Amino acid sequence: MKNIVVLGSTGSIGKNTLEVARNLKDKFRVIGLSSNSRWELLAEQIEEFKPTYVALNDSQLGEKLKCRFPDNHLKILTGNKCLEEIVLHEEVDIVVSAVVGAVGLPAAIATVQQGKTLALANKESLVMAGHIVMSLAKKNQILPVDSEHSAIFQSLQSGKRSEIKRVIITASGGPFYDYPVDKLSEVSPAQALKHPTWQMGQKITIDSATLMNKALEIIEARWLFDLKVEQIDVVIHPQSIIHSMVEFCDGSVVAQMGMPDMKVPIQYALTYPERMPLSVQPLNLSNIGSLTFKKPDMEKFPALKLGYEAAREGGTMGATLNAANEVAVQAFLNGQIKFTEIVTSVEKVINNHHYIKNPCLEDVLTADAWARQEIKKCLT
């Protein structure tokens, strides 16, 4: 029996993680949950899973939880460092980081420093500070939950890291890949939130629509698998059946396939190196008929260029890109900017930022804070 903590348990990945845990009760015990603000759903999860620890960023909402659960056995943590605090408890074996954004970085670092397994969906931790996080981690201590990186990780079981020629990250293309380029500026938040194949949270759905999600995945793959940027390709695959591929030095290409369902990579990260039965929709290729692939249009979706640039340059580029994008996406969702202004605003911030080649954690956090303030100037 392994003890798991789910950071971001009320989000899409978090809820899927709890479904996996629910089906593997004899293998996993949920001892920690966290949410940013959805305290009522968190309360329902507490009632079902009966964790020992709960983290909630908002202290006022934390008080509501305390009134709901006066039992002294439940330890409720609040404040900016609550995620770090919850992962530090000795009995924790696996931390599933399913939070969105830069907030996941300190908890990721604390997890690997404590020698615990990190099941990572929070790609921003590696986008911002991959050089720091990976230098602290042991082999296979960080297991990817992103469907694309899980696919690469699974495909790599067929060979050695030294035998990789390239990895091919697939992208659905989002809802606007075939959309007229002159109409993109008119896209509304409601339209952008309608992803054709995946059910995800708001921020990642918008990132998928701009292809910024794929830009972040390029950076994540560079650090997670210790790749050169030239070894990372992106291909548009609208059916989202092949989740990513690895080409080896002998020309063999190994792909991981399956119907789009996040429970598959989540469970693999939790049970690795074993596989456990999982009730998911089976893949029926004869019903699907055909799988198609396209070269990404980097002029129409310039976020990919920014991703490759940030992966190549390293340093504080990733933190700056990520922070600016987080603020720009929220501004779009709030109706403050146009869809096309998300990436153009981010690019302005990147071009103006003070680049540091070998940043320490303080430098990374400073770049993050600066970018969040700087992009607000671009949006006014």
Residue 61's CATH number: 3.40.50.720
The pLDDT assigned to 73 comes to: 82
Q: Which amino acid is at 239?
A: Q
Give Cα 174 distance to the centre of its chain.
16
Query: 308 lies in a domain?
Result: no
Indicate whether 245 and 340 sit together in one domain: no
Model pLDDT, residue 72 = 67
Is 372 buried (19+), middle (13-18) or exposed (0-12) by CB count in 10 A?
A: middle
CB 208 within 8 A of CB 191: no
pLDDT, averaged in runs of 10, over the chain (380 residues) = 97 96 96 92 95 90 85 85 94 96 94 97 96 95 97 96 96 88 88 75 89 96 97 96 97 97 97 95 94 94 97 97 96 94 96 95 96 89
Report the amino acid identity of residue 345. Answer: S
> Based on the structure, what is the number of domains in the chain?
3
| 3-class secondary-structure state, position 119 | strand
The verdict on 294 and 156 lying in the same domain is yes
- For residue 306, is it within any domain? no
Which pLDDT does position 196 carry in this prediction? 67
- Domain interval for residue 68: 2-144
One domain, residues 332 and 284: no
Distance CA 54, CA 300 (A): 43
Q: Which residues pair with 119 in a beta bridge?
A: 96, 143
pLDDT computed for residue 194 by the predictor: 80
- Residue showing tokens 């103006």: 352
Instruction: Please report, as a single letter, which amino acid is at residue 305.
Output: K
Please give the pLDDT value at position 70: 83
Shared-domain flag, residues 173 and 101: no
Give 357-364's long-range contacts (Cβ < 8 A, gap of 24+): 357/314, 357/315, 358/131, 358/315, 359/129, 359/315, 359/316, 359/319, 360/132, 361/109, 361/129, 361/132, 363/316, 364/105, 364/128, 364/129, 364/132, 364/316, 364/319
Backbone angles phi and psi of 289, in degrees to 5: 90, -60
Please give the pLDDT value at position 336: 94
- Return the sign of the alpha-carbon dihedral for residues 365, 371, 373, 374: positive
Q: Are residues 200 and 82 in the same domain?
A: no
The answer to whether residues 254 and 332 belong to one domain is no
What tokens appear for 41 in the block? 């759903």
- Measured N-to-C along each axis, helices 317-333 and 303-313 cross at an angle, to the nearest 10 degrees, of 150
310 within a domain of the structure (yes/no): no
Q: Are residues 162 and 223 in the same domain?
A: yes
End residue of a domain, out of 276, 300, 324? 300
The whole-angstrom separation of Cα 171 and Cα 154 is: 18
* Residue 248 bridge partners (DSSP): 164
Is 271 within a domain?
yes
Q: Rounded distance, CA 224 to CA 169, Å?
A: 13
Q: What is the pLDDT of residue 175?
A: 85
Does the residue 309 lie in any domain? no
The pLDDT assigned to 63 comes to: 85
Residue 305 lies in a domain: no
Shared domain check, 203 and 133: no
Of all helices (H) and strands (E), which one includes residue 151? Answer: helix 147-155
